[in-house]
A = this chain, B = another copy of it.
Amino acid sequence: MASLTVSAHQNGPMPRQSAFTIDSILGLDRPDQRTVLSAPYRPWTDVKPACQNRRVVADSEASVNVRMNEDGKSYSKSPTDSYRRTLNWYIGRRPRTAFSSVQIRILESVFQVNSYPGIDIREELAKKLHLDEDRIQIWFQNRRAKLKRSHRESQFLMVKNVLSDLQTSREEH
């Protein structure tokens, strides 16, 4: 096993006993304490609890047609959707929605005017863009986060610029 050989040549003596040291992860100190950390949580790795093999067929065909939303139309709210939801409950994640460029354009222009649309506007958007209202809500959430981030970042850059300007002008005298 590679972890043994690697953990063997770690940096020197026992480092410190913080809750988790790299060395403890590398299993240096304890040959087998694999109780807490031992199951690396890889949801896709196992087929999940054994009892799921029932309707996987139906589900799998559902998961195929996930996002057909090219321009005008997105995926439908067919019964396969609920199957997919069921499957995702096992697998754990909603398939990523790919918004069309038209949808994005509309969402962006609404965002410019109102970044906190109420339920009524969201529903309206949902109907017009053929999306779930949920998707709209999440989209606005993420969009607000993005705006906020970019604000922080540009401020950071401004501060950095000012500082480096100061530095420069100081050096010139």
Interface core residue of A11, A19, A153 (most chain B CB under 10 Å): A153
In contact, A115 and B27 (Cβ under 8 angstroms): no
Q: Quick one: which of A9-61 are within 8 Å of B by CB?
A: 10-11, 15-16, 18-22, 25-27, 30, 33-34, 37-42, 44-45, 47-48, 51, 54-55, 58-59
How many copies of this chain sit in the oligomeric assembly?
Answer: 2
What B residues does A41 contact at CB under 8 A?
115-116, 149-150, 152-153, 156-157
Most chain B CB atoms below 10 A, which of A109, A114, A151: A109
Q: Which residue of B lies closest to A162 (CB)?
A: B47
Q: With A19-B120, A114-B40 known to touch, is A128 a contact of B6 (CB < 8 Å)?
A: yes
Are B121 and A25 in touch, CB under 8 angstroms? Answer: yes
- Let me know if B3 and A113 touch, CB within 8 A: yes
The A contact surface, by secondary structure, is helix
Min distance, Cβ A52 to any Cβ of chain B, angstroms = 10
**In the bound complex, what is the Cα–Cα distance between A125 and B15 (angstroms)?**
11
| Distance from A69 Cβ to chain B, minimum over Cβ atoms (Å) | 14
